[in-house]
Structure 1
Amino acid sequence: MFNPADFPEPTLVPVNGVELEVFEAGPRKGGKPVVLCHGWPEHAYSWRHQIPALAAAGYHVIVPNQRGYGNSSRPAEVTDYDIEHLTGDLVALLDHYGYQDATFVGHDWGAMVVWGLTLLHPDRVNKVINLSLPYQERGPKPWVEVMEAALGGDFYFVHFNRQPGVADAVFDENTFRFLRNLYRKNVPPAEPRPGMALIDLARAETPLGDPVMSDSELAVFVSAFASTGFTGSVNWYRNLDRNWHVLAAADPIIRQPTLMIYGDRDVVRKSEKLAEFVPRVEVVNLDCGHWIQQEKPEETNRAMTTWLAQQDAGQ
C-alpha cells in the first residue's frame, strides 16, 4: 500500500499569471522531463503510484496541481479556465524548468488538456501518453450543443454549462460523500435514471462497488476539495464550447508518438477513429474502470515505462 508520507513536498511555481503547486521527483539534469496532468475531480496525488516508477526510470517527473486545484491559483473568471490558459500554464512550466519540450501524460480532463496542448503548441510536446479520454474530434457543431442534443440537459457536461453553480454547491456541501461515492471500482451496471447523476451521487448515503483507494488516500482528495471548493475545477467544463472555437485554426492531427491507455470497464467510450487523428498511436487496454492509474498502478507503470523506453531507444 502506498504511504502518503512518501509523496514529494510541493513548491509554488509562478506561471502564466498564476501560481501552480508542483510536485517533483527524479533527476533534474537528465533532460527527460515527464509532466503528469490530472483529471476531474482529482489532484496531483492521483499520480502517486507513477511518480516513483518514472523517477526510478530516470525521468524528471513534474506533477502540477493545475489551476483551480489544490494550492494552485483559482482565478474567479470562468474564461480563465479555457484551453488557452490551461495549456499556457504547461508551456510556462516548461519554460520555468528550461525545457524546450517534454512528454505529457494526461488522465480524464488532463488528457483533454494534453490533446489540446499538442494541437496548440506541438513544438513543446515530444510524446503523448493519455489515459481514459481519447482524442475528441472537432465536429461542425460545438461540443456542449452536440451533447445536449444527444444526451439531454441533465448530462453533467451540459448541466455544468446550462446551470452554473448548481452542481458545485451540492459537491461543496457533500465533499466527503461525493468523492467517496465517486472513487469506486467494480460498480454494478444500472439503468440510467432521470435527474443529474453526479448530484444524486453526491447525496447518496451508500457507495456502490469497491473503493479505489484507502481511507488515508481518499482523505488527501477530500481535504483538498474541502479547502478549495469545486467551482474552479468545474469551470474547466464551462469552457468546452470556447475550446471548440479556440481549436478551429489548429491542425487536427496529433503527429507525436502516442500511447493511449484505456480501461475496459471505463464509462468513457473508446474511439473508433483514433488512428485517423493520431496516426502514431499504440493502444493498451487494462481490465479496470475509469480511475486507471489508481486502479491498476503496476500495470499502468509497466505500460508507460516500457513504451517510453522503446521510444527513447528509437530516437
Structure 2
Amino acid sequence: MKRKSNADLNDFPNPTMIAVNGVQLEVFEAGRENVGKPIVLCHGFPEHAYSWRYQVPALVKAGYHVIIPNQRGYGNSSCPTVVTEYDIEHLTGDLLGLLDYYGYKDATFVGHDWGANVVWSLTLLHPTRVNKVINLSLPYQVRGEKPWIEWMEEVFGMDFYFVHFNRQPGVADKIMDENKFNFLRNIYRKNVPLQAPEPGMSMINLAQAEKPLGDPVMSDHDLSVYVSAFEGSGFTGGINWYRNLDRNWHFLAEVNPIIQQPTLMIYGGQDMIPKFEQLPEFVPQVEVITLDCGHWIQQEMPEETNQSILNWLEKQDIVGQSN
C-alpha cells in the first residue's frame, strides 16, 4: 500500500512515530522551543493532522508547543482491526499517552469535527489533564436517555450515515475505498448551494458523484496529501469511530456532564451541524464565535480562525495572571 512521503507535506513538520496506549501514532510537532506550553490539535473525519497546517506557524509564534497526532485509524498511525479499539476509552487514552510521552500534566486541546467529540469526552473523563478547550464545528453532545445510534435511527432513519455505518458494516467503507479521490474531492467543498438532501446514504453519494458542488476547500496539492494518506490507511479505521458511539454512551453514564474548563466554541455559520443553544448550561465558561464559512472552518478561513483562537488564548492568559 502506498504511504505518503514527508515531501508531500511541504513545510508541515516532519512526523515522529510515537508508541502510546498499545498503538503507534504518527505525530507532527512544532515549537519545541516553547516546551512547557503545550497545545494538542485533534483532527476529524475524514481528515489528517495536515488539516491544521495553517494554525501551526501562528501558534508557534504565539509561544506554544504544538502537537498534532494522526489519531488511530489515520495516516501512518496504527489501524487496529478490532472495532472496539476505536471507542472513546482508547481514543482519549491515546491523547493521555501523548501527554505522558512529552511529560505534561495537562494541555490545551483543540478539536475539529470528530476531534472535537474526542476533546469533549477527554475533558469529561479526565478533567485534570485538560486546562482549556477549543472546539470547532461540533458542539457538546448531551448524553440523552437512549444510545446515540438508536436515537438517530429513530429520528433520521436507516440511511443516515451514522446509522448506516453501524447497521451495514463494510458497505460504505468499500465504496469510499474504491472512490478515494472522488470522495475526498467531493466532500472538501465550500459555498455549496442549499438543496434538499438526496435519497440514500450521503457519504456513499459523495463517493460516487461524478461532479462536486460548490468550490474546493483546498488546492490540488493539499488534496493529494489526503488522497495519498487514505490510500495507505483506507477509511475503515475512521468509520470505526462512528461504530462505537453507543458503546461510548455507556462509558459516559456515570460521568459528571458539566465541563468547567474555559472553552472556546467556533461554529461555521454555513455548516450543516446545528448550534447547541443550551451549551452554556453544560459548559458554563464557554465563549462562542461564529465564522462565515462551512464545516471545514480552519481550512476555509485560516486567518480568521487563527485570530479567534489567539485572541481568546491571550484573554485566558490575562485572566490567569490576574488570579
Q: Same fold (TM over 0.5)?
A: yes
How many angstroms does 1:153 deviate by? 0.4
Unaligned segments of structure 2, at least 5 residues? 1-7
Map of 1:52 onto structure 2:
57
How many angstroms does 1:30 deviate by? 3.6
Pairing 1:134–2:139 present: yes
Task: Give the residue type in structure 1 aligned to 2:80.
Answer: P
Task: Give the residue type in structure 2 aligned to 1:227.
Answer: G
Task: Give the residue type in structure 2 aligned to 1:191.
Answer: A
* Alignment map for 1:31-42 (pairs within 5 Å): 31-42=36-47
Range moving further from structure 2, 211-220 or 303-312: 303-312
Map of 2:4 onto structure 1:
none
Contact 1:27/1:58 (<8 A) preserved: no
Q: Distance in 2 between matches of 1:11 and 1:27?
A: 13
1:263 corresponds, among 236, 249, 268, to 268
Map of 1:312 onto structure 2:
317
Map of 1:161 onto structure 2:
166
Q: Distance in 2 between matches of 1:195 and 1:106?
A: 29
Contact 2:270/2:292 (<8 A) preserved: yes
Map of 2:218 onto structure 1:
213
Map of 1:287 onto structure 2:
292
Secondary structure of the structure 1 residue equivalent to 2:243:
helix
Q: CA RMSD in A?
A: 0.9
How many angstroms does 1:43 deviate by? 0.2
TM-superposition CA deviations, 1:107-152 (whole Å, max 9, x none): 0000000000000000000000000000000011000011000000
Map of 1:195 onto structure 2:
200
Range moving further from structure 2, 105-114 or 4-13: 4-13
Contact 2:75/2:230 (<8 A) preserved: yes
How many angstroms does 1:29 deviate by? 4.7
* Alignment map for 1:4-15 (pairs within 5 Å): 4-15=9-20
Q: Which runs of 4+ in 1 moved over 2 A?
A: 27-30
Unaligned segments of structure 1, at least 5 residues? none
TM-superposition CA deviations, 1:247-280 (whole Å, max 9, x none): 0111100100000000000011110110000000
Map of 2:89 onto structure 1:
84
1:302 corresponds, among 300, 303, 307, to 307
Q: Distance in 2 between matches of 1:23 and 1:283?
A: 28
Task: Give the residue type in structure 1 aligned to 2:144.
Answer: G
Q: Distance in 2 between matches of 1:19 and 1:69?
A: 11
Q: Percent identity?
A: 72
TM-superposition CA deviations, 1:206-227 (whole Å, max 9, x none): 0000000000000000000011
Q: Distance in 1 between matches of 2:40 and 2:290?
A: 22
Q: Distance in 2 between matches of 1:4 and 1:55?
A: 18
Secondary structure of the structure 1 residue equivalent to 2:118:
helix
TM-superposition CA deviations, 1:222-254 (whole Å, max 9, x none): 000011110011000000000000001111001
Map of 2:241 onto structure 1:
236
Q: Distance in 1 between matches of 2:129 and 2:33?
A: 18
Contact 1:47/1:293 (<8 A) preserved: yes
Change (3 A) 1:309 1:164: same
How many angstroms does 1:62 deviate by? 0.1
* Alignment map for 1:56-205 (pairs within 5 Å): 56-205=61-210
How many angstroms does 1:28 deviate by? 4.4
